[in-house]
Amino acid sequence: MKIEVSEGEKKNDSQRRILLVPFFEQAPIKDVKVELGKALEEIGFTGKSNDIRIVSMPSIKENFCAVGLGKREKYSIETYRRALSSALREIERTGIQSVIASLPGVDGSDLETFETAYIAETTLYKFSKYKSQNHDTPEIKEILISGKSDLNSALQRGQILGKSTNYARDFANMPPSEGTPSYFEKLARELKNVNISVIEKDKFKELGMGGLEGVSRAAKEPAKLVIMEYKNSSDKPFAIIGKGIIFDSGGISIKPSAGMQEMKFDKCGASAVLGVMKALSEMNAKVNVIGLAPLTENLPGGNAYKPGDILRHYNGKTSEVITTDAEGRLVMADALSYAVDKYSPKAILDISTLTGACVTALGNNIAGLMGNNGELISKMLDVSSKTWEKVWNLPIDDDFREQIKSTVADIKNTGGSQGGAETAGAFLENFIGTTPWLHLDIAGTAWTQEKTAKKEYVGKGATGFGVRLLTEFSIALFN
| Residue 462, helix vs strand vs coil | strand
Query: What is the distance between the alpha carbons of residues 428 and 367, in angstroms, rounded to a whole number?
Result: 17
Q: What are phi and psi of 68, to 5 degrees?
A: -80, 130
Q: In one letter, which amino acid is 435?
A: T
Q: Are 95 and 44 in contact (CB under 8 A)?
A: no
Tell me which residue of 292, 246, 272 sits closest to 168, measured CA to CA: 272
For 258-401, strand residue ranges (E) read 288-298, 310-312, 318-320, 347-352, 367-371, 391-393
User: Which H/E stretch holds residue 227?
Assistant: strand 224-231
Q: Which residues of 363-384 are buried (b: 16+ CB within 10 A; e: fewer)?
A: bbbbbbbbbbeeebbebbeebb
User: Which H/E stretch holds residue 66?
Assistant: strand 62-68
Query: What is the distance between the alpha carbons of residues 246 and 243, in angstroms, rounded to a whole number?
Result: 9
Q: Which of 53, 81, 217, 329 is catalytic?
A: 329
Whether 169 is catalytic: no
Report the phi/psi class of residue 310: left, alpha or beta, with left for phi > 0 and alpha for psi in -120 to 50: beta
Query: What is the distance between the alpha carbons of residues 30 and 51, in angstroms, rounded to a whole number?
Result: 18
- The distance of Cα 255 from the centroid of its chain, to the nearest Å, equals 25
Q: Are 247 and 266 in contact (CB under 8 A)?
A: yes
Query: What is the distance between the alpha carbons of residues 83 and 256, in angstroms, rounded to a whole number?
Result: 39
Whether 255 is catalytic: yes
Q: Which of 48, 71, 255, 306 is catalytic?
A: 255
User: Which H/E stretch holds residue 146?
Assistant: strand 142-146
Tell me which residue of 69, 96, 71, 93 sits closest to 83, measured CA to CA: 69
The string of DSSP letters for 259-279 reads TGGGGGGGGHHHHHHHHHHHH
Q: In one letter, which amino acid is 98?
A: S
Characterize the bridge pairing of strands 411-412 and 318-320: parallel
Q: Which residues are catalytic?
A: 255, 329
